[in-house]
Structure 1
Amino acid sequence: MPPTTPTKPTNGATAPVDVPRGLAGVVVTETAIGDVRGREGFYHYRQYSAVELARTRGFEDVWHLMAHGELPDAAKRAAFIRRTAELRRLPEDVAAALPAIAAAGTRSGPLAGLRTALSLFGAAQGFRPVYDIDDEQRRADALAACAAVPTLLAALYRLGQGLEPVEPRTDLPYAANYLHMVTGSEPEPLRARAIEQYLISTIDHGFNASTFTARVIASTGADVAACMAGAVGALSGPLHGGAPSRALDTLDAIGTPDRIDAWVRARVLAGDRIMGFGHPVYRTEDPRSRMLRGLAEELGGPLVDFAIEVERGVEAVLAELKPGRDLHTNVEFYAGVVMELCGLPREMFTPTFAAARVVGWSANILEQAGDSKIIRPAARYVGPVPPVPVPKAPAPVA
């Protein structure tokens, strides 16, 4: 018998409301953190253009904006930089556990290890449910977790490679310190700034899957580390945070400029997705991709030249075979190029994304913690119509 939809409300209280699959375009709450205007190719943090912030301000300035709702003046910036830099060092019991976490995750990598490490960090720090603490303590927990994430990721990566972790430095800005901890050497200013701009551009981006996950968990009143660990789990999915290295894999697979048209045409006709192209929100060029292409061109080199040729070739084939779709590069395409040129290994591309997005998650967690309403949607049951009598248990087999 085919599934039948029951006529009674599925949650027993109020009638369910039909919404698009995946909640696409559904407004679930109000936020003062930021928004994405996909038809315009624009997104913002608070009242400022995110791309303009990336071009003109440092990471700590934008972190302060997300955490406190304002860009800092010189005195507040200095105090914030000092405070967050001092939070980079891990508790001894957490650092001591990282070799075992890294060893257990040799296949899954640093991002999977971060889920475990964040839970341990929250426990070691004595994080309490956001429901039970005030705004000041919530913010302190969020800052501590955000500051620890780059240290955790870099240490897990190096341990997985058989290398000793590099201790964080308090004299380097957020991005430069992160590169230093991953690579073991102090980065050149141009590369440090390129990564900083990438990190700023990916701090927040509307109610994406990981941000929404963080808010759902925060709505239960759970602690900050639990919220962030859940968000990391969502980010680890290849349809969300796992594409920057895959976009570079596309460049590797094409290999040379003369193969672009044939390779792309074959994939499009086969119905395959071209990694690094298209976005569920933007109907114009992704503004993050535009900015990152500029960063890549500043860094220069054969990889950048080839990426630009591939971009043109893919867009030409897509325009021919999928007219009216208006598909362009998304953030992952040039993000992979920039990170590769700045010395980050490919297995650290998505973890680096997490090192930025954790700041956006924390802002959303803090905002959600101020709302006592738990997020509890309904689902439409489409199984066999209940109630059906429960059959007798089978007799024991002799």
Structure 2
Amino acid sequence: MAPAALVGGGSGAGGGVVADYLRRVTGVVPDPAHERALSAYLVAAMDHGFNASTFTARVIASTGADMASCLTGAVGALSGPLHGGAPARALDSLDLAGADPGSWIAGELAAGRRLMGFGHAVYRTADPRSVLLREVAEGLGGERVAQALAFQQEAERQLAEHRPDRPLHANVEFYAAVVMEQCGIPRDLFTATFALARTIGWTAHVLEQARDRKIIRPSARYVGPAPVARARL
């Protein structure tokens, strides 16, 4: 269940952060079901270990910089296509696959391209956040959700055949895209919506790192050409 500070009474006006965000983005009073669905996503996305943006925020915090600088650095890291932006590209895949996901997925894998929304740097089993958001999406229902369910089934089947050495499952971005779309959030605001949630996690990490009072200074090992010995004159 989402924290009470996020979810209000379902009025959509002054009922909480999520209701206000949806109203501002969509221009209408949000459906309580959409408010609950987006709340579930935001809670699931608040924090997820030392990902690139969180680690960036902690490195900046370790220098004694202020909160604004730390969060700005985290947003900069999130702006990279390998970190943020995956949910929108997952929806692009659904659009391109249409009613025949099998053929489209086979073509992508044959061309050596990644399936956006599948696989994770940490998880080798199902992403628990994806499992949660799939349930949320199923609760919303609709043709897009049915399409996503069929796409996931076919994608995981083909990925298992294509990469039997590495299990690849739907990650949080796949159903996050479906949930946000169902809630009326435009694709170009998907990453910003993710940042809305992750800012809470970044802030907690910054406050924790600031108490350490020790700068993060990783060491490096030179791996370039060996120095050439000069002949003595």
Shared fold by TM > 0.5?
Answer: yes
2:32 aligned partner: 189
Structure 1, unpaired ranges of 5+: 1-55, 63-80, 82-168, 389-398
2:206 aligned partner: 365
The AA in structure 1 aligned to 2:146 is D
Contact 1:311 1:329 in 2 (8 A): yes
Following superposition, the deviation at residue 238 of structure 1 comes to 1.4
Alignment of 1:133-282 (within 5 A): 171-256=14-99, 259-282=100-123
Following superposition, the deviation at residue 260 of structure 1 comes to 1.5
Following superposition, the deviation at residue 384 of structure 1 comes to 5.3
CA distance in 1, matches of 2:215, 2:118: 36
Following superposition, the deviation at residue 380 of structure 1 comes to 2.2
Following superposition, the deviation at residue 269 of structure 1 comes to 2.2
The AA in structure 2 aligned to 1:60 is A
CA distance in 1, matches of 2:51, 2:181: 25
Alignment of 1:17-166 (within 5 A): 56-58=1-3, 60=5
CA distance in 2, matches of 1:273, 1:202: 23
Shift in alpha-carbon separation, 1:324–1:386, aligned structure 2, 3 A: closer
Q: 1:349 aligns with which of 190, 196, 208?
A: 190
Shift in alpha-carbon separation, 1:249–1:61, aligned structure 2, 3 A: closer
Alignment of 1:273-312 (within 5 A): 273-312=114-153
Contact 1:211 1:364 in 2 (8 A): yes
The AA in structure 2 aligned to 1:220 is T
The AA in structure 1 aligned to 2:57 is A
- Secondary structure at the residue paired with 1:60? coil
Aligned residues: 227
The AA in structure 2 aligned to 1:371 is D
- Secondary structure at the residue paired with 1:314? helix
Over the matched positions of the two proteins, sequence identity in percent amounts to 58
Shift in alpha-carbon separation, 1:59–1:374, aligned structure 2, 3 A: farther
Following superposition, the deviation at residue 325 of structure 1 comes to 1.6
C-alpha RMSD over aligned residues: 2.2
Contact 1:59 1:200 in 2 (8 A): no
CA distance in 2, matches of 1:235, 1:174: 22
| TM-score (normalised: structure 1) | 0.54
Contact 2:13 2:19 in 1 (8 A): no
Following superposition, the deviation at residue 242 of structure 1 comes to 1.2
The AA in structure 1 aligned to 2:116 is M
1:49 aligned partner: none
CA distance in 1, matches of 2:114, 2:170: 12
